[in-house]
Chains A and B, each alone.
Chain A
Amino acid sequence: MTATGTLTPEERANPGPELLAATPKDDFTSPAFGAARPRRDWFDQIWNVLGSIRFGVVLIALTATSVFLGTVIMQAPGDVQASPELFAAWILGPRGRYGEPWSSIFEALELYRVFQSLWFRGLLALLSLSIMVNVASRTPGIIAVVRRPPVKVPTRFFSRAPLRVTVSFPVPPDGIRPKLATDLGRKGYRTIAWDDGSALAIYADRNRYGKYGTFANHLGLIIILGAGVLGNVTGWREDAFMVPEGTTRAVGHDTGLVLRNEAFVEEYFPNGTASDFRSEVVVLKDGKEAARGTIRVNEPLDVGTVRFHQAFFGPAVAMRVRNAEGAIVYDDSTALGFKYDGDGVTRNGGNFVLGNRQFAVFVLVPSASLQAPDPVIPAGSVRLEIFAPRQPRPVAVETLAQGEKREIVGFTFEFVRETQFSGLQVVDNPVVNVIWIGAALMVMGSMAVFYLPLRRIWARIETSPDGGSVVTLASAHVNEVLFAHEFAALGEHLAKKGGGKVLASVQPSAMGDRIEAGS
């Protein structure tokens, strides 16, 4: 980039004296992306493009555009994406909304599932790669900025720098130099003394380590993106882990965990909206108690890296089933966590399996939110639909009232009572904490760059005719109105501290409103 006359980010952010005085370039200003060294092979060319900030801007803009499209265009929910039948039903909505040809174009471009699409993932991968290449190529420059400050500047810099303040002191140069160094030190500058030919001089800089923030910032970003992928690969989640009150369910996923729902409680505001719902649970690992506690919406329970969240709840029924000999073959609760439409109404349903997969039993109750009464199932009763393997129609359909026993297909079914199930989300994301580390790095890194900007000042101390000294402070930060102001104030501060007087002050841009200045 330097070859074409523009500045590298480092040069722009840290203008050194060489920008004004044509001295041979120090290493720290050498082009960040290697444009000055002739790089001809294809690897270098790709490297240069990937690492260029121009390409970075394009990538960030493309990401922004994709995120925008994914925000304004209807996105298919996860379960819809997973099932072709559900998707076929779902797509009718967007088709009607956007019309043709848009709907087909959106479908072809996977715009109904932007964030799960391959192209979006590819874009994020390219973004990460570009960041890595860019940071790698900027690293030597940044380290040089911090470790090898351009202490010496040509004398003419002191008469050409955009920011200059001249101060006279009644003390000779070798008396004022340590004093200036101390006062600059109090303002947060580190100083290095040097000699500019006949005159004494000081180099001062502040916040040089803030430069390293850009590593933390972009590294944090890569960590977040990487941990996102890793979490998808190594973790799992169960969105509908339904455990009826008083029952025990295995978590699965090779965790060896079993959760027992001891009690479920729901509470309401006077206006009828839910104010709280919670489950009292015990989690066993390989038969031994591993955790016990209350799970609320904002209070999950952690067992190792597995986290249990309260998500929803619904009706459940406790059933007892005996075989022909009178032995109990089923004594458990069934969560009725699914909605079924039939007979013009919606019902809650769930199922359990009897014997060695001899029968599948579907249990249905009227929905609690039902306005009109169910025409078939009276409130407080359950309907059982019993299916034999590989048969499309139930072999028996019976409705039982609470407490009732009935013999069906050779078993005695007893509807013990209605209870509730607690719907939990179970998540195992072993790397989620890595995301937070990445996030902290990202924010702190950018704040370091923004709030700790590198500042450089040079001072040249000449002997004045009356035996005192004349100090010229110079700095090359252009287009920084606030710093220009701070710089002028620093000159005044140093003058006051050393018993001197400001003779002249040069600033390119004025502070304040031009109306106030009386123009």
Chain B
Amino acid sequence: MAKASYYTFTASFITLGVALLAYLWYTIGQRRGAGRYGTFFTVNGALLLTTSLGLRWFASGHAPYSNQFEFSLSFAWGTIASYLYLEHRFRLRSLGFIAVTIAFGMLAYASTLPSRIDPLISALQNNAMLTTHVAMAIISYGTFACGFAAGVLYLINRKGTISFLPAPEVLDEIGHKAVMIGFPAQAMLLILGALWANVAWGAYWSWDPKETAALFTWLIYGVYLHARAQRHWRGVRAASLLILGFGAVMFTFYGNYFLGGLHTYSGL
């Protein structure tokens, strides 16, 4: 089962690589027909990744996010799922090459990590909590990745002069939509984490570096939401905040390499 999970992971990795090429050809190469292939391979890559995660869940008996390998896969999954949702809602594929690059990069990183299934240490044995807590991480970080993609394209096309990229006001709105999903999800992530810590450690908030890193990320998007409420903060500044916010996401995600604290063992 764990083997089958690894094979489907590899298949999804390759499929998304193809999707990435198709999206690049579509957007940079301005080949209209390639877009449909991009979507086709992304959807299939997502299905394969879902299967891989499902098999792993089944094999280990717990949701697949108890170590860095599993969480990287889940992060990639969240990014693709959010991207496909936005592609569908806004009917545009130009974000694809950035969003899929992020997901592809996460999978490439995952392929360098040990993929064994470990027994859970006792602090992580609270399944329902673990599942919802990290599900919120996947939703928020996935949508923030798409917000980042929209922010980057905005900066590239801020004057609206690049005809093959979406209009700046559309990109601005996509970024905002992404944060509107990601911000409450991350709030729930923090709250569920607090609920969990309250049960496990007897303190709902300990100013642990992992907690503060996630809070920092959330506050950046808080700045984004309030700054954007002022008209002159839309556009370039808002897009820069989307990029900074995703930088904070990556910092939170990789933070346990250089930050200690209660979360270190879990790799989350």
Contact = CB atoms under 8 A, between A and B. Distances in A.
B225 to A, nearest CB: 9
Contacts of B173: 479-482
Interface string B81-104: 000000001111110000000000
Contacts of A237: 202-203
Interface in A150-168: none
B180 A450 contact: yes
Most chain B CB atoms below 10 A, which of A298, A482, A511: A298
Interface in A421-437: 425, 427, 432, 435-436
A203 to B, nearest CB: 26
B226 A435 contact: no
Interface string A36-76: 00000000000000000110110011011001101110010
B223 A64 contact: yes
Contacts of A56: 226
A446 B201 contact: no
Interface residues of A, number: 62
B221 to A, nearest CB: 10
Contacts, number: 155
B219 interface: yes
B201 A513 contact: no
A461 interface: no
B127 to A, nearest CB: 10
A68 B255 CA distance: 12
A402 to B, nearest CB: 30
Contacts of A249: none
Interface in B228-264: 229-233, 255, 259
B198 interface: yes
A309 interface: yes
Given A63-B219, A435-B194, A513 B122 contact: no
From DSSP, what is the main secondary structure of chain B's interface residues? helix
Contact of A482 (B89, B184, B200, B226): B89
Given A436-B195, A511-B90, A57 B212 contact: no
Q: Which of A64, A275, A512 has the most CB of B within 10 A?
A: A64
B30 interface: yes
B112 interface: no
A495 interface: no
A54 B237 CA distance: 14
A217 B181 CA distance: 15
A309 B126 CA distance: 15
A57 B204 contact: no
Contacts of B194: 435, 439
A54 B169 contact: no
Interface in A191-233: 228
B101 to A, nearest CB: 18
A515 B202 contact: no
24 contacts: A56-B226, A57-B230, A64-B220, A64-B223, A67-B219, A70-B212, A71-B209, A71-B212, A228-B205, A276-B122, A297-B123, A298-B200, A300-B202, A442-B187, A443-B188, A446-B183, A451-B180, A479-B169, A482-B90, A482-B177, A509-B170, A510-B167, A512-B91, A516-B35
Interface of B: 26-27, 30, 32, 35, 89-94, 119, 121-123, 125-126, 129, 163-167, 169-170, 172-173, 177, 180, 183-184, 187-188, 191, 194-195, 198-205, 207, 209, 212-213, 215-216, 219-220, 222-223, 226-227, 229-233, 255, 259
Given A509-B170, A512-B92, A513-B93, 13 more contacts: A53-B226, A57-B226, A60-B219, A64-B220, A64-B223, A70-B207, A75-B209, A297-B122, A298-B122, A512-B90, A512-B91, A514-B163, A515-B32
Interface of A: 6-7, 9, 12, 53-54, 56-57, 60-61, 63-64, 67-68, 70-72, 75, 115, 228, 237, 269, 271, 273-277, 296-300, 307, 309, 311, 425, 427, 432, 435-436, 439, 442-443, 446-447, 450-451, 479-482, 509-516, 518-519
7 shortest interchain CB distances as A-B pairs: A64-B219, A309-B202, A512-B91, A513-B92, A425-B202, A450-B180, A71-B212
